[in-house]
Chains A and B, each alone.
Chain A
Amino acid sequence: MAEIKRITAPLTAEIVSKLKAGDMIEITGVIYTARDAAHKRMVQAYQEGQPLPIAIQGQIIYYVGPCPAKRGQVIGSCGPTTSFRMDAYTPTLLELGLKGMIGKGTRSQDVIECIKKNEAIYFAAIGGAGATIARSVKKAKVVAYPDLGPEAIYRLEVEGFPCIVAIDSHGDNLYQSGSERYRLN
Chain B
Amino acid sequence: MKEIDFYKIVDTIEGLCIKAACDLPEDVERIINKAIKQEESDFGKYILGQILDNTAYSRRENIAMCQDTGIAVFFVEIGQDVHIRGGGLSDAINEGVRRGYQKGYLRKSVTADPVFQRKNTGDNTPAVIHTEIVSGDMLKIRLLPKGGGSENMGALKMLKPSDGIEGIKDFVISSVVEAGGNPCPPVIVGIGIGGTMDMAALLAKKSLCRKAGVPHHDAQYAKLEKELLKEINRSGVGPQGLGGRVTALAVHIEHFPTHITALPVAVNLNCHAARQAVANL
Contacts and interface: CB of A to CB of B under 8 A. Distances in A.
Interface in B101-127: 105-109, 118, 120, 122
Contacts of A58: none
Given A128-B273, A149-B120, A183 B108 contact: no
Interface in B164-222: 180-182, 184
B271 interface: yes
Interface residues on B, range: 35 or more
Interface string B213-256: 00000000000000000000011111011111100000000000
Contacts of B149: 81-82, 104-105, 127
B3 interface: no
A69 B65 CA distance: 13
A66 B46 contact: no
Contact of A182 (B41, B152, B182, B273): B41
Contact of B242 (A1, A79, A164): A164
A130 B54 contact: yes
A184 B234 contact: yes
B63 A65 contact: no
Contacts of A67: 63-64, 67, 69, 105-107
Interface residues of A, number: 48
A64 interface: yes
Interface in B73-124: 105-109, 118, 120, 122
Interface string A159-185: 000101010000000110111111111
Contacts of B271: 127-128
A42 interface: no
Contacts of B54: 126, 128-132
B278 interface: no
Interface string B29-73: 000000000001111001100110110011001011111110000
B240 A65 contact: no
B146 to A, nearest CB: 13
B24 to A, nearest CB: 10
A184 B245 CA distance: 9
Interface in B249-266: none
A177 B53 CA distance: 27
Interface of B: 40-43, 46-47, 50-51, 53-54, 57-58, 61, 63-69, 105-109, 118, 120, 122, 148-149, 152, 180-182, 184, 234-238, 240-245, 271-273
Q: Which 10 A-B pairs have the closest CB atoms?
A: A178-B243, A183-B236, A182-B236, A127-B184, A184-B234, A105-B182, A129-B54, A131-B58, A179-B236, A77-B64
Interface of A: 1, 22, 37, 64-70, 73, 76-79, 81-82, 84, 104-106, 124, 126-132, 134, 148-151, 162, 164, 166, 174-175, 177-185
